[in-house]
Amino acid sequence: MAINYNLENIRNLLTEGFTDRQLRRFCFDTPHFRPVYDQLAQNSGKDEIVDQILDCAVRTLKVELLLAWAKKRNPARFEEHKPYYGSRILLVDDNKDWCDQLGGLLQEQGDGYEVVIAMSSEEAIQLIRADMPYNLAILDMRLEEDVENREGVRLGEWLRKNGYHLPIIIMSAYPIEVDTVKKMTLRPFQFVAVEKGKIGSGGVDDLLHQVKLALL
């Protein structure tokens, strides 16, 4: 599973958890970050120091080295400012209100899933091609541009044909539709019937359960 860093939280961890002097000392003592120390001016403020450290960590793939130091020196702040996202989920649905509800609920699960929302298949494909890897895709079976009510399935099939082997959950508000399309589909997708707008419904509980299983 790809590691997804929450850079904003890491920035807050460094800013709130350490003094300017501690950050400079880290750069001086750590060979990979010594160039940062050499470039900093005497009057550089903490924001500039943190920016330079983060830029170096990301550019040289040494974020883990930075986090190991921060965790050892200030474990309480490290725990407060969680530096990792949980799994990264792509949620595709043309109903914005539902996406916001479900996305918020998913972010509260596990270690804090990162949820990226797409409102159409086209937008989803653009995100998948251009963005970081995803650990799971949740696709609505019916999308706005779909006249056969199978656009979500077609998007899932596109992902498989193009080499994206992440787990895929296809959801629909219509149980009968789920059963029908499930029989027509050869791909190993997970189908869930979800009553949109009702977060406390059994369908949503089933969806959350399937999400947890998919991300084990």
> Residues 185-206: pLDDT tens digits?
555 566 666 656 555 556 788 8
Closest by CA to 121, choosing from 135, 105, 136, 142, is: 142
pLDDT band at residue 18 under the 50/70/90 scheme: very high
Q: Is the pLDDT of residue 147 over 60?
A: yes
- 8 A C-beta contact, residue 112 and residue 159: no
Strand order in the sheet with 88-92: 114-118, 88-92, 136-140, 168-172, 190-193
133 pLDDT tier (thresholds 50, 70, 90): confident
Q: Percent of the chain, pLDDT > 90?
A: 41
pLDDT in tens, 156-187: 889 988 988 888 888 887 765 656 665 555 55
Q: Cα(145)–Cα(121) distance, rounded to whole angstroms?
A: 9
CB atoms within 10 A of CB 88: 20
pLDDT of residue 85: 73
Reference 214, options 153, 157, 171; nearest CA is: 171
Cα torsion angle, 202, 204, 207, 211, sign: negative
Q: Concatenated DSSP letters for 129-166?
A: HHS---SEEEEESS-TT-SSS-HHHHHHHHHHHTT--S
Q: What is the average per-residue pLDDT within 40-55?
A: 94
* pLDDT range class, residue 1, cuts 50, 70, 90: very low
Rounded to whole angstroms, how far apart are CA atoms 118 and 142?
13
Distance CA 85, CA 202 (A): 27
Q: Which two tokens stand for residue 115?
A: 């949820």
Is pTM beyond 0.75 here? no
Q: Is 84 helix (H, G, I), strand (E, B) or coil?
A: strand
- The pLDDT, as a whole number, for residue 114 is 82
Rounded CA-CA distance 79/3 in Å is: 17
Distance CA 159, CA 128 (A): 9
Q: How far is Cα 85 from Cα 94, in angstroms, rounded to an integer?
A: 25
pLDDT tens sequence across 84-130: 777 889 999 998 888 888 888 888 876 668 888 999 999 999 988 87
Confidence at residue 53, expressed as pLDDT on a 0 to 100 scale? 97
Average pLDDT of span 68-83: 91
The pLDDT assigned to 150 comes to 79
Q: Is 132 buried (19+), middle (13-18) or exposed (0-12) by CB count in 10 A?
A: middle
